[in-house]
């Protein structure tokens, strides 16, 4: 009898354990979790710009009388932003990748993928000093007798980056149309215009910096210039694919994509939590109490060197703002994703506002204007105000325009929910 009761107790205990286990819901709503291997990554060289309320618009004078930055209260979500402007060394990683990918394609260096497709095998090292290799890739070179320097060189005009985008907004607004009708294809010259120093300053001796700025090691940590709006977007796409491919190999989820900030995302980040202040460090002065300038710009009546920089300076100079972002004012003006419209602030949404216009090849030039923010080494103090709006045409490259990227994703330990 005792043995029988022990068996009954064992069966009852087994039933209890089974009922408390993970199998079954007991008729209750318990939810179904996904199985993604998601570990929120913190992108290298980026800092977190938190959720908050932006008091956008003019904080001080409007010397041009444009009245194009009316004061608005806007709700902003969080994102990661590059701590510094994109440097020459960082942009060179992009152009070298484009150069190598073209060479691999011509050499037939492909690998088979599990889905049956083929992609270029970028793991193979290319020895660009190998004479036999140079002969195989002769169409990528400018012959020595045509280069002007007496030596054979890579033809940088051949470095074309191809990418495709999908317009999710248009797809939503035009449901029912074929998905591929919302895809756009781009072929962008990746190499920056290294002649901008000479073109912009015709009557000054800028040949040395024009010849050295993009490649010489001393300028590695200086902001890349000579990059137009299309090239900045191409860089963002390449950067997204570079990181996505690495996370795919580790079967990790990739959230968001690198892109240019909208102009109001830029302003929110530049203020560093100091709403209604004219500069990233607060204000109202451009000097600290020791009399030192706080940014790289054109002080006084043109004493460019008074602030410590005759032209551009390394991307991590001067003090960062309260979010840890360097040189949101001065050094180089920065491309944003937004189209420039004088009355944009009248019409934007109050949550994550954006002013973007889908253009076409037949648009007049004035419709290709893209908003610049931050001011540069050649600008007077007014343009350094975080609320000052300026613009340039999308296909224009200048010696005073650069960019930085953002990516929207969940911050480790901090979400956009309360």
Domain ranges of the chain: 51-87+192-407
**Above pLDDT 90, what percent of the chain?**
49
User: Which residues is 52 bridged to in the sheet?
Assistant: 76
For 82, 127, 284, 411, the CA distances from 134, given in Å and listed in that order, are 37, 9, 57, 46
Q: Residue 180 has what pLDDT? A: 76
Q: Residue 293 has what pLDDT? A: 95
Contact in structure between 342 and 66 (CB atoms under 8 Å): yes
Cis omega (within 30 of 0) for bond into 246: no
Q: Which of 17-21, 205-209, 252-256, 328-332 has the lowest mean pLDDT?
A: 17-21
Q: Which of 14-18, 19-23, 181-185, 349-353 has the lowest mean pLDDT?
A: 14-18
Confidence of residue 418 (pLDDT cuts 50, 70, 90): very low
For 282, 284, 386, the CA distances from 276, given in Å and listed in that order, are 9, 11, 10
Contact in structure between 147 and 163 (CB atoms under 8 Å): no
Candidates 270, 273, 274; CA nearest to 404 is 270
pLDDT top residue among 39 and 240: 240
Q: Residue 110 has what pLDDT? A: 83
User: The dihedral of CA 257, 261, 262, 266: what is its sign?
Assistant: positive
Candidates 69, 130, 138, 45; CA nearest to 326 is 45
Confidence of residue 13 (pLDDT cuts 50, 70, 90): very low
pLDDT tens-digit series, residues 155-211: 999 999 999 988 877 788 887 787 777 788 999 999 999 999 999 888 888 888 999
CA distance 259 to 168: 15
pLDDT top residue among 67 and 352: 352
Confidence of residue 265 (pLDDT cuts 50, 70, 90): very high
CA distance 378 to 325: 21
Give residues with Cβ within 8 angstroms of 147, minimum separation 6.
153
pLDDT exceeds 90 at position 374: yes
pLDDT exceeds 60 at position 334: yes
Tell me which CATH code domain 51-87+192-407 carries: 3.90.1580.10
Contact in structure between 333 and 223 (CB atoms under 8 Å): no
pLDDT top residue among 24 and 258: 258
CA distance 287 to 336: 27
Tally Cβ neighbours within 10 Å of residue 48: 15
**Above pLDDT 70, what percent of the chain?**
87
User: Which residues is 164 bridged to in the sheet?
Assistant: 185
pLDDT top residue among 39 and 252: 252
> Both tokens of residue 51?
């959720």
Backbone angles phi, psi at 20, to 5 degrees: -90, -5
CA distance 237 to 231: 10
DSSP per position, 262-307: PHHHHHHHHHTT-TT-SBTTB-S-SB-TTS-BSS-S--TTT-GGGG
Confidence of residue 416 (pLDDT cuts 50, 70, 90): very low
Consecutive H or E run containing 202: none
Backbone angles phi, psi at 53, to 5 degrees: -110, 125
CA distance 387 to 93: 32
Question: From start to end of 133-229, where are the E strands?
Answer: 141-142, 153-154, 160-166, 183-189
User: Exposed/middle/buried for 370, CB within 10 Å: 0-12, 13-18, 19+?
Assistant: buried
Candidates 31, 49, 133, 44; CA nearest to 323 is 49
User: Exposed/middle/buried for 376, CB within 10 Å: 0-12, 13-18, 19+?
Assistant: buried
pLDDT tens-digit series, residues 90-111: 999 999 999 999 999 998 888 8
pLDDT tens-digit series, residues 134-170: 889 989 999 888 878 788 899 999 999 999 988 877 7
Q: What is the mean pLDDT of the chain?
A: 85
Tally Cβ neighbours within 10 Å of residue 189: 18
> Both tokens of residue 176?
């029912």
pLDDT exceeds 80 at position 362: no
> Both tokens of residue 132?
């036999």
pLDDT exceeds 80 at position 115: no
pLDDT tens-digit series, residues 282-330: 988 999 989 999 999 999 888 999 999 999 999 999 999 999 999 999 9
Contact in structure between 190 and 159 (CB atoms under 8 Å): yes
Confidence of residue 238 (pLDDT cuts 50, 70, 90): very high
């Amino acid at each position: 009898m005792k043995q029988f009761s022990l068996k009954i107790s064992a069966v009852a205990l087994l039933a209890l354990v089974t009922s408390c286990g993970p199998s079954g819901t007991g008729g209750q709503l318990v939810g179904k979790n996904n199985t993604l291997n998601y570990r929120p990554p913190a992108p290298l060289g980026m800092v977190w710009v938190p959720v908050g309320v932006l008091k956008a618009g003019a904080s001080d004078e409007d010397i041009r009388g444009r009245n194009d930055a009316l004061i608005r209260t806007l709700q902003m979500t969080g994102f990661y932003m590059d701590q510094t402007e994109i440097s020459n060394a960082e942009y060179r990683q992009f152009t070298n990748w484009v150069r190598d990918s073209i060479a691999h394609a011509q050499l037939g260096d492909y690998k088979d993928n599990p889905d049956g497709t083929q992609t270029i095998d970028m793991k193979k090292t290319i020895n660009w000093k190998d004479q036999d290799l140079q002969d195989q890739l002769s169409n990528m070179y400018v012959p020595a007798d045509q280069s002007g320097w007496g030596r054979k060189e890579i033809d940088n005009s051949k470095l074309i980056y191809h990418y495709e985008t999908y317009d999710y907004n248009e797809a939503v607004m035009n449901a029912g149309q074929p998905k591929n009708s919302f895809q756009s294809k781009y072929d962008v010259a990746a190499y920056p215009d290294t002649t901008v120093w000479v073109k912009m300053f015709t009557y000054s001796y800028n040949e040395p910096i024009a010849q050295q700025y993009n490649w010489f090691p001393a300028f590695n940590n200086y902001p890349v210039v000579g990059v137009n709006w299309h090239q900045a977007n191409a860089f963002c796409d390449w950067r997204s694919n570079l990181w996505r491919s690495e996370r795919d190999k580790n079967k990790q989820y990739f959230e968001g994509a690198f892109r240019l900030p909208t102009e109001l995302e830029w302003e929110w980040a530049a203020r560093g939590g100091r709403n209604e202040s004219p500069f990233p460090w607060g204000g109202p002065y451009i000097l600290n109490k020791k009399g030192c300038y706080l940014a790289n710009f054109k002080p006084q009546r043109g004493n460019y060197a008074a602030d410590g920089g005759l032209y551009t300076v390394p991307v991590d100079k001067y003090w960062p703002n309260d979010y840890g972002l360097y040189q949101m004012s001065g050094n180089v003006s920065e491309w944003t994703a937004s189209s420039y419209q004088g009355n944009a602030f009248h019409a934007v949404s109050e949550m994550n506002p954006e002013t973007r216009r889908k253009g076409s090849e037949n648009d007049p030039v004035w419709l290709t204007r893209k908003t610049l923010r931050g001011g540069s080494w050649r600008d007077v103090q007014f343009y350094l105000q975080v609320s000052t709006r300026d613009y340039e045409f999308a296909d224009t490259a200048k010696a005073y325009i650069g960019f930085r990227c953002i990516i929207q994703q969940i911050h480790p330990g901090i979400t956009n929910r309360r």
